[in-house]
Structure 1
Amino acid sequence: MSTLALSTAKEVFDLLRDDLRAIERELGRDAVSDVAAITEIADYLREGGGKRIRPSLLLLAAKAQGYEGQGMVKLGAVVEMVHTATLVHDDIIDAADTRRGRPSANTTWGNAKCVLAGDWLYMQAFHIALEERNFRILDLLISLTQQMVEGELLQMETLGRAICETEYFDLIYRKTACLFQVSMRLGSILAGATDEIEDQLGEYGRSLGMAFQIVDDVLDLTASEDMLGKPVASDLREGKATLSVIHSLENGTEADRGAIEKVLLDQSFDRVDHAEILEILNRNGSVEYAMAAAFRCAEAARQGLAALPDNEFKRALLWVPDFVVARDK
């Protein structure tokens, strides 16, 4: 494989298969509590699957720089546990009924138990990370958690109103891209990278995470419920203005703006239906505008890899942005 261009998801995940399996086993061991509800909720969430893109990034960052130790398995489990904890809390905040095509955990166990299970997962992630005995790792994880909580609070303050692109990009950095960034930084720290290389790979993660969330937001508006595994246009129905919507608010007609603002304010499609919003977005070229921004972020991500030695792990990292912008769910 080292002599071939990595071009498919299967090749990349084959490259990481053993380590990802080790991370799954680590998650199974780490998410066990004396309190049955915590173990049940954690098992349910793990069985829901997911792309495991964040631990994969950590593995690729470490391996691309020659690291071969077990720390990357432990920290891969840590970033996945942090991600899972955020999903539990997000579903409670958004009153979501489904996640990845299954009932969300809060519909089965209730909000109170899921809040506490999410808290437990956060603390367990820190407990596992502590085993590395590295203050830089703990500092990154603490700052990450603060950023993500601040992002969620900031988003709650914007619900039901139009926001500008600057606000939007700040939100998606805090909610999504900072965890991609930290995943790349953690892999670099394990590999003993210089501060400069760590910063460059962190920028790769940040740009990739921005592209990932922009595409996620576009799919929320345009994909089918079967594809998404959850109701379509959930963001708009919750009063969240994402990039395509912001573009039409700023570039559409007065009638376009009025229709979108009704949905944001109502947090429902009772007065304006989803099809009408899609027509507005398509007529104004707003979906294409958002996807162009995602492609720019993907290209910026690739630029952050210039200093890495050429190997199959670097080639996998070069391919990941294509996967992120081309996905359909």
Structure 2
Amino acid sequence: MATGKLGLALTTREILSLVSKDLEKVEQEFRLESVASVDAVSQIAQYLQGNGGKRLRPIMLLVSCRLFREPSPEAIRLAAVVELIHTATLVHDDIIDDAKTRRGKPSANVLWGNHTSVLAGDWLYMQAFQIALRMRSFEVLDLLITLTQQMVDGELLQLERIGRIDITEADSMELMDRKTATLFSACTKLGAIAAEATESEQTVLGDFGWNLGMAFQLVDDILDFTSRESILGKPVGNDLREGKVTLPLIYALQDASPGDRAKVEIVLKEGNYEKVAFGEIRGILDKHHGIERARVRAHEFTAKARTLLQTFNECPARTALFAATDLVADRDR
């Protein structure tokens, strides 16, 4: 599997080339289905759609479907559904976090305000379920309802833990499961459902997506400490500033001195890096190998994901899913 910056660029192109025509149809479906009777909702949806997202979730659904057959209109519709759900979560997350930017541009809540944005997020959720309802599939609806409940549970759990330094590895894994991995799992499983794969094949692809999602979130947490704002599209060190203690810092705190813990607690309490510089926090992470340990954990999840793919016969779609595991683990944004 190709590695390094050039390799990652090539694998990205390879994956996109496999589903580029499908993805164009998804974009059209998204645009059509996000037109609301209230202009602000349509404007927010279209603003976020044009704001440079990677479309990783619909891509995973479409590639998963292509393990078995070409995506049907139902698969295209489901890919639009998961992107609508993902877009709704972004709108709500930015409101909860009081975020000012999203992918390097002003967030929806900055441009339209919290009240309009939260209602637009609600509308996008309901529109996603409206589309799914047209398919008359209880299996799909059950999966999407369970997914949404788990993501909301994840947000509530995160709110309960804001500002706490005593977050454990198990706590962190639970949040990653509910906030990210469940959506990835739903995407890959929905691709299999749309292709009328067997129940066991659906389960394996769901497990693949879950492991990929866990790795994706872990790398996200690492990048929050290691990337640059110009690349990340939001301020670095933002998680800790918002009161979130993620796994790289959890690992570092396991061996940290009382003085180092006190520095982390100051940032958690103050919500800024004025009294304790971000560089000092990064130094704590480096000294206690928090980033390195989290990266090893991410690679464990991608290794498991690759093992699960061995279940399927070799084909361009399987190759693309293998490439996606490298892309997720080694990305810089």
Question: Once the two structures are superposed, what CA deviation does each residue of 1:111-157 show, in whole Å capped at 9, x if it has no partner?
Answer: 00000000000000011111221100000000000000010010000
The question of whether the paired residues in 1 share the 8 Å contact of 2:242 and 2:268 is answered with yes
Find the residue that maps to 2:236 and give its secondary structure.
coil
**1:328 counterpart = 2:332:** yes
The question of whether the paired residues in 2 share the 8 Å contact of 1:161 and 1:265 is answered with no
Report the alpha carbon displacement of residue 72 of structure 1 after superposing the two structures with TM. 1.1
Pick the aligned partner of 2:102 from 91, 99, 104.
99
Gaps of 5+ in 1: none
Report the alpha carbon displacement of residue 49 of structure 1 after superposing the two structures with TM. 2.0
C-alpha separation between the residues in 1 aligned to 2:222 and 2:266?
Answer: 20
Question: Once the two structures are superposed, what CA deviation does each residue of 1:59-81 show, in whole Å capped at 9, x if it has no partner?
Answer: 01111022441111100000000
Residue 121 (structure 1) aligns with:
124
Residue 50 (structure 1) aligns with:
53
C-alpha separation between the residues in 2 aligned to 1:323 and 1:78?
Answer: 24
The question of whether the paired residues in 1 share the 8 Å contact of 2:169 and 2:250 is answered with yes
The question of whether the paired residues in 2 share the 8 Å contact of 1:298 and 1:325 is answered with yes
Residue 22 (structure 2) aligns with:
19
The question of whether the paired residues in 1 share the 8 Å contact of 2:185 and 2:209 is answered with yes
C-alpha separation between the residues in 2 aligned to 1:57 and 1:100?
Answer: 21
Q: Partner letter of residue 27 of structure 1? A: F
Residue 268 (structure 2) aligns with:
264
Q: Partner letter of residue 83 of structure 1? A: H
Residue 289 (structure 1) aligns with:
293
C-alpha separation between the residues in 1 aligned to 2:52 and 2:25?
Answer: 15
Report the alpha carbon displacement of residue 306 of structure 1 after superposing the two structures with TM. 2.0
Residue 211 (structure 1) aligns with:
215
The question of whether the paired residues in 2 share the 8 Å contact of 1:79 and 1:183 is answered with yes
Range with greater deviation from structure 2 (247-256 or 118-127): 247-256
Question: Once the two structures are superposed, what CA deviation does each residue of 1:184-217 show, in whole Å capped at 9, x if it has no partner?
Answer: 1101111222222111111110100000001011
Gaps of 5+ in 2: 1-6
Residue 243 (structure 2) aligns with:
239
Shift of the 232–68 alpha-carbon distance from structure 1 to 2, 3 Å rule, reads: closer
Question: Once the two structures are superposed, what CA deviation does each residue of 1:147-196 show, in whole Å capped at 9, x if it has no partner?
Answer: 00010010000011120000000001111111000001101111222222
Find the residue that maps to 2:197 and give its secondary structure.
coil
The question of whether the paired residues in 2 share the 8 Å contact of 1:33 and 1:39 is answered with yes
Alignment RMSD (CA, Å): 1.3
Q: Partner letter of residue 99 of structure 1? A: R
Report the alpha carbon displacement of residue 272 of structure 1 after superposing the two structures with TM. 1.1
**1:226 counterpart = 2:230:** yes
Q: Partner letter of residue 50 of structure 1? A: G
The question of whether the paired residues in 2 share the 8 Å contact of 1:244 and 1:281 is answered with yes
Q: Partner letter of residue 106 of structure 1? A: N
Report the alpha carbon displacement of residue 13 of structure 1 after superposing the two structures with TM. 0.4
The question of whether the paired residues in 2 share the 8 Å contact of 1:92 and 1:111 is answered with yes
Q: Partner letter of residue 277 of structure 1? A: I
The question of whether the paired residues in 2 share the 8 Å contact of 1:218 and 1:290 is answered with yes
Residue 38 (structure 1) aligns with:
41
Report the alpha carbon displacement of residue 253 of structure 1 after superposing the two structures with TM. 1.8
**1:161 counterpart = 2:135:** no
C-alpha separation between the residues in 1 aligned to 2:68 and 2:254?
Answer: 44
Find the residue that maps to 1:215 and give its secondary structure.
helix
**1:133 counterpart = 2:113:** no
C-alpha separation between the residues in 2 aligned to 1:262 and 1:127?
Answer: 46
Find the residue that maps to 1:49 and give its secondary structure.
coil
C-alpha separation between the residues in 1 aligned to 2:255 and 2:23?
Answer: 44
Q: Partner letter of residue 20 of structure 1? A: L
Pick the aligned partner of 1:301 from 305, 309, 330.
305
C-alpha separation between the residues in 1 aligned to 2:312 and 2:131?
Answer: 28
Find the residue that maps to 2:254 and give its secondary structure.
helix
Residue 277 (structure 1) aligns with:
281
Residue 178 (structure 2) aligns with:
174
Identity of aligned residues (%): 48
* TM-score scaled by length of structure 2: 0.95
**1:318 counterpart = 2:322:** yes
Pick the aligned partner of 1:189 from 185, 188, 193.
193
C-alpha separation between the residues in 1 aligned to 2:190 and 2:117?
Answer: 28
Range with greater deviation from structure 2 (270-279 or 247-256): 247-256
Pick the aligned partner of 1:75 from 67, 78, 100.
78
Q: Partner letter of residue 225 of structure 1? A: E
